[in-house]
Structure 1
Amino acid sequence: MQNFENRRDRFDLFDRMDSPAVNLCFTLDLPDYRPWCRQHGLPPFHVLLCAVLRSILKIENFRYRVFDGEVIEIDRLMPSFTVVNRHNDLNFALFDWTDDLREFVRRGVAAREQACAMTELNNAYAALSPRQCKDQVFITCIPWLDFTSIQHPTATLGAPDIPSLAWGRFKDGPDGRLLLPFSVQAHHGFVDGFHIHQLAQQVAAELAGFMAGQP
């Protein structure tokens, strides 16, 4: 936690504010990995989800959380994301982490199908302990919209320590690139604009790594 101690004064500054969250929306520039997904029979959303969460784990500032009044650093993630059920109502899907891409996709698809089939709100979160809840990153996808801003809900305005990420409609970019609106909300005591830049670069690198090897 030495890196955190180097910025503890920044954390103290922002943590005293009514809302210490930083929320940045930008166009994420990625290699167009969709043809590779079609070739390997993998759904693009779940491949991107894996790339995003692997990137979160590789950037220390996104692993900081507040638990029992102290700053901790998580070392694992519980993947979760929003889905739309047959009534067009939101629900939550969550599943156990794996670093293997194909197994990650398999578990993610199964969690999506289960959550989509439910009419009631998925209450699996209720079984999580307060400490287990800190292993989450909140993910939502809005594939219909090319949004330019977003406001994520927070249970407690003054404690946005679990990052919230969102992305929207894909569009073709120049030279075989893929462009999409992307939003990152996090505790400003932990995350600055530079770290969000690092995250964007790492997501692109994870996708390039998938395409260079075998899933």
Structure 2
Amino acid sequence: MMNFERRRDRFELFDSMDSPAVNLSFTLELPDFRPWCKAQGLPPFHVLLFAVLNAVLKVENFRYRIFEGEVIRIDRLTPSYTVVNQHHDLNFAQFAWSDELREFVARSLAARDQASNMAALNDTYQGMSPRECKNQVFVTCIPWLDFTSIQHPAASLGCPDVPSLAWGKFRYGGNGRLQLPFSVQAHHGFVDGYHIHQLAQTIAAELKQLIQ
């Protein structure tokens, strides 16, 4: 937590505000990993989810949370994301982490199928303890839209310590590059614009390493 202690004064500044969230939308540039996914028989969304969540763990500022009034640093993540069910309502897919890509994707697909086939809201997250809830990052994908901004819901405006991430429609950017709208919401006491830049660069690096 030494790195956090260096910015505790920044944390206290933003945490005292009614809404300490920073919310930034931008065009994320990535290596076009879709041909590799096709060759490997892997769905691009789930491969990108794997890369994004690994990047979150590698950028320390995205691992800080507030629990029982104290700042903590999480060591693991419980993957979850939104899906659309048969009635075109959202639901939540949640599953156990795996460090191995194919196992991660298999678990993600099983969670997607379970959640998308449910009419009622999947409330398995309610079985998590308050501490376990801090191991989340809220993820949503809006593949139909090339959005330019987004407002993420927050259970408490005063405590947006669990980051919210969203991305939209892929488009080919030329020269083997992929572009997509990407949004990050986080506690400004933990995350600045520089750390969002770090996250973007780390996601690209994670994908580059996978496809090589």
TM-score, length basis structure 2: 1.00
Q: How far off is 1:190 after superposition?
A: 0.1
Q: Distance in 2 between matches of 1:126 and 1:53?
A: 21
Q: How far off is 1:176 after superposition?
A: 1.1
Q: Distance in 1 between matches of 2:90 and 2:123?
A: 13
Q: Distance in 1 between matches of 2:44 and 2:196?
A: 22
Give the secondary structure class of the aligned counterpart of 2:151: coil
Aligned to 1:51: 51
Give the secondary structure class of the aligned counterpart of 1:53: helix
C-alpha deviations, 1:41-85, integer Å up to 9, x for none? 000000000000000000110000000000000000000000000
Give the secondary structure class of the aligned counterpart of 1:199: helix
Aligned to 1:123: 123
Q: Counterpart of 2:66 in structure 1: which amino acid?
A: V
Q: Distance in 2 between matches of 1:101 and 1:19?
A: 36
Aligned to 2:132: 132
Within 5 Å, give how 1:200-215 maps onto structure 2.
Answer: 200-212=200-212
Within 5 Å, give how 1:69-108 maps onto structure 2.
Answer: 69-108=69-108
Give the secondary structure class of the aligned counterpart of 1:120: coil
Q: Distance in 1 between matches of 2:135 and 2:98?
A: 14
Give the secondary structure class of the aligned counterpart of 1:197: helix
Aligned to 2:141: 141
Give the secondary structure class of the aligned counterpart of 2:14: helix
Give the secondary structure class of the aligned counterpart of 1:182: strand
Q: Counterpart of 2:39 in structure 1: which amino acid?
A: Q
Q: How far off is 1:4 after superposition?
A: 0.1
Q: Counterpart of 1:85 in structure 2: which amino acid?
A: N
Give the secondary structure class of the aligned counterpart of 2:206: helix
Aligned to 2:169: 169
C-alpha deviations, 1:104-145, integer Å up to 9, x for none? 000000000000000000010110000000000000000000
Q: Distance in 2 between matches of 1:126 and 1:203?
A: 29
Establish whether residue 23 from structure 1 lines up as the match of residue 23 from structure 2.
yes
Give the secondary structure class of the aligned counterpart of 2:27: strand
Using the aligned pairs only, state the percent identity: 72
Give the secondary structure class of the aligned counterpart of 2:175: helix
Q: Distance in 2 between matches of 1:177 and 1:60?
A: 27
Q: Counterpart of 2:27 in structure 1: which amino acid?
A: T
- Please identify runs of 4+ aligned residues in structure 1 that moved more than 3 A: none
Give the secondary structure class of the aligned counterpart of 1:190: coil
How many corresponding residue pairs? 212
Q: Distance in 1 between matches of 2:126 and 2:62?
A: 24
Give the secondary structure class of the aligned counterpart of 1:24: strand
Q: Counterpart of 2:49 in structure 1: which amino acid?
A: L
Identify unmatched segments of 5+ residues in structure 1.
none
Identify unmatched segments of 5+ residues in structure 2.
none
